[in-house]
A = this chain, B = another copy of it.
């Protein structure tokens, strides 16, 4: 991987909303509408953030009925990506925003959320 691609990895991490997404996905897999609810952004915006994280290799997706679940790419073969993922809990811990996000994803009901 060339240095331009390494820079792109860090660019994917350079947005607070994308860091919040990664921290949430380290709790459990989530669909787009759940993340949208927590971040209070437009669905299209969240979708774009997810595609950036996916392109960088940090997350993968899985179809489940009409939903698309996103999850951390835990078995990533790229050692740089894998080490960054493993460092995230150390780098970002006890953050107020992230704590609230995690509280929210634990009380969110996907079925209710998507049908309102």
A contact set with B: CB distance below 8 Å: 2-4, 6-8, 10-11, 13-16, 18-20, 79-80, 83, 87, 90-92, 95-98
Chief secondary structure at chain A's binding surface = helix
User: Which residues in B have their C-beta under 8 angstroms from that of A79?
Assistant: 90
Contact between A7 and B3 (Cβ–Cβ < 8 Å)?
A: no
Q: Lowest 9 CB-CB distances: which A-B pairs, in order?
A: A11-B14, A10-B13, A10-B14, A7-B16, A10-B10, A14-B14, A80-B91, A4-B16, A3-B95
Copies per complex of this chain: 2
A47 to B3, CA, bound (A): 21
What chain B residues lie within 8 Å of A4 (beta carbons)? 16
